[in-house]
Structure 1
Amino acid sequence: MSIFTASDGTRLAYHQRGEGEPLLVLPGGPMRASSYLGDLGGLDAGRRVIRLDLRGTGDSEVPADPATYRCDRLVDDVETLRVHLDLEEMDVLGHSAGGSLAMLYAARFPRRIRRLVLVTANPWALGTTATPEDRLSAARLRKGEPWFEEAFRALEAWLGGIGDPGPELAPLFYGRWDTAARQHDARADDEFNDEAAGVYGSEGAYDPPATRAALSRLTAPVLLLTGELDGAPNPELARRTADVFPHVEVAVQPGGGHYPWLDDPERFAGLVGGFLDDVSPSVGRTPS
């Protein structure tokens, strides 16, 4: 673990694994400690993977002002870390809600992005989100799984405004509900900052027209990777998100859920690593 100091004096932590070209990773949740990302399917085998603990999560300090949890204000922390690392430009990977943070960073600091990877990214920064039918359609792909009926009823109830999402939904986020997935999900309660999550996308966090306009001029290559079985975003939403970027590829990982590096580490690392190394593996990838 290493520490740097944000512009408001908050001490923030980041974790480095591997050697080679740096890859800055922005976690989702929103506001989940970066430990849930693990080694991202072994990406650290060929590069230096740098996971940022967003303020108030993981090993980073809780800020004096909770308003600084807002997504657009977190962009300053990402830029401060880049300066701290003395990087002229860098590869950036954003997962899930972290995809919106990565988009806002790329919109504000386009010259600092070498390549941008958005993994199962929720495009809230663009003013779009998964619909209830997106989630239900993806869930129906799991029919026949032993847990399906209970999970699907819980999903319908939640989407219908009856109750909060419960543990019954967990299998829907993973391509395989195996021991690794169960262990990964069991750590979630300890890794989330619920107060911060409530502020992350609060009023003023996003300006979709401005962000779309800025990203339409981004010269860096972009990869949008989504899981075949994920409902938020599903592959169709990922393809619509791709329309914003001028230089973009979409990869759909077969059998992948919201955490595709757990479902098939080798395939995930091949797709992302190949893109970052400017190699174009054909498996699961379609140009937008």
Structure 2
Amino acid sequence: MSETVRGAVETDCFRLSYIVEGEGRPAIVVGSSLYYARCFSQTLRRHLRIAFMDHRGFAPGSRSTDVAQFGMEKLTADIEQVRQQLGFDRVVIIGHSGHGFMALDYARRYPEHVSHLVMLCMGADYTPAGHAAAERYLADSVCPERKAALAEAMARLPAMIEAAPEKAFVSFCLATAAKSWFDYTFDAAPLWEGIETNMAMFDHVWGKVIPDMDLAALAPDIRAPAFLGLGRYDFLVPPAHTWEPVRDRFRDLTVRVFERSSHAPMLEEPEAFDRELLDWIGSR
């Protein structure tokens, strides 16, 4: 397998690290370079040369609270800067959860450099109505043990945030394990080891930028074939049915629902995930 390459790009006041591993067709996973390098399999790395890159919310040492630095155009321009620095031509652009919006926006703004768009565990509607749909999906599910575990963890969350406010995003992710993992007892803390977060970025992008993005309006602009991977037990984001008004707006969208996954099928069902993704890339 090709050697691992580590580096960074400097953009505005942010230093965005990346880790490049694997061999084959070039791909970029946007989010946290550390977190996502821990989530995707070695098997996938035998087929894709994957650059795991930080966005501005994960830039080490960043304390910026200037929301003008967190617009979607800037976030996708950062992806383009990484692509150029790595010398990639056309890439498979991959975004998980809210990062799927960054991947989609990059595919829209830089179509000449995107061969495939991959969106994972991403809801189509992050408005209050979409979040209410996610809550109903969990409430309607017959899973008393999962609900009890969630209630217990959420009761501890305020104290976790008070003790380490700079880690509020990570604390929230850990406290919502019952919404996020097929095995709701899974301890995701090792995935977050050594990762810094900028809460001003997450509050603005997840609270304002993403909810204002209209997928129905943006989807027709996507030229590349698109893959949407969802988890049957994902209670963290708006459920699969929120995609129904949107999916036919894409020129070429393939949807796959992983039956024993929640919010991370690439980690929860790696063999099925790798097979479906690579088969789809090969067919397009």
Name the TM tier (shorter chain): 0.7 to 0.9
Match for residue 91 of structure 1?
92
**Corresponding position: 1:177 with 2:176:** no
Give the equivalent residue in structure 2 for 1:229. 233
Cα deviations across residues 220-252 of structure 1 (Å, max 9, x unaligned)? 110011101113132212444423311111100
SS of the equivalent of 2:24 reads coil
CA distance 1:142–1:265, change in 2 (3 Å): farther
Letter in 2 for 1:257: S
Asked if 1:108 corresponds to 2:114, the answer is: no
Structure 1 residue corresponding to 2:15, chosen from 11, 14, 18: 11
More helix by share: 2
Taking the aligned partners of 2:244 and 2:201, their CA distance within structure 1 comes to 29
Query: In structure 2, the residue corresponding to 1:40 is in which secondary structure?
Result: coil
Residue 199 of structure 1 is matched in structure 2 by 204
CA distance in 2, matches of 1:246, 1:97: 22
Q: One-letter code of the match for 1:131? A: H
CA distance in 2, matches of 1:168, 1:39: 19
**Superposition TM-score, scaled by structure 1 size:** 0.76
- CA–CA separation in structure 2 for the residues paired with 1:248 and 1:135: 26
Look up the equivalent residue of 2:52 and give its one-letter code.
Answer: R
Using the alignment, how far apart are the partners of 2:40 and 2:30 within structure 1?
Answer: 12
Which moves more between the two structures, 110-119 or 83-92? Answer: 83-92
Aligned residue number for residue 275 of structure 1: 280
Runs of 5+ consecutive residues of structure 2 not aligned to the other structure: 1-5, 158-167
Note the C-alpha offset of 1:256: 1.1
Instruction: Quote the Cα distance in structure 2 between the aligned partners of 1:249 and 1:134.
Output: 22
TM-score with structure 2 length normalisation?
0.77
| Maintained 8 Å contact 1:229/1:255 | yes
Residue 134 to residue 89, structure 1, CA distance change in 2 (3 Å): same
Question: Cα RMSD between the aligned structures?
Answer: 3.3
Please give the residue correspondences for 1:52-67 in structure 2 after superposition, counting only pairs within 5 Å: 52-57=53-58, 60=60, 62=62, 66-67=66-67
Q: Which runs of 5+ in 1 are unaligned?
A: 28-32, 159-163, 280-288
Q: In structure 1, what is the Cα distance between the partners aligned to 2:149 and 2:27?
A: 39
- 1:171, 1:177 within 8 Å by CA — same for their partners in 2? yes
1:112-151 alignment, distance < 5 Å: 112-123=113-124, 130-138=130-138, 140-141=140-141, 143-145=143-145, 147-151=146-150
Deviation at 1:174, TM superposition (A): 0.4
Equivalent-residue separation in structure 2 for 1:116 and 1:166 (angstroms): 25
Q: Are the aligned partners of 1:26 and 1:102 in contact in 2 as well (CA < 8 Å)?
A: yes
* Matched position secondary structure for 1:182: coil
CA distance in 2, matches of 1:134, 1:169: 13
Query: Greater CA deviation, 167-176 or 101-110?
Result: 167-176
Q: Report the alpha carbon displacement of residue 142 of structure 1 after superposing the two structures with TM.
A: 5.6
Cα distance in 1 for partners of 2:112, 2:104 equals: 13
Rate the CA distance shift 1:65–1:190 in 2: closer, same or farther, 3 A.
Answer: closer
- The percent identity for this pair of structures is 22
For residues 15 and 189 of structure 1, what CA distance do their matches in structure 2 show?
A: 15
For residues 108 and 212 of structure 2, the distance between their equivalents in structure 1, rounded to whole angstroms, comes to 11
State whether structure 2 residue 26 is matched by structure 1 residue 25. no
Instruction: Provide the C-alpha distance between the structure 2 equivalents of 1:252 and 1:116, rounded to a whole number of angstroms.
Output: 17
Distance 1:45-1:200 versus aligned 2 partners, 3 A rule: same
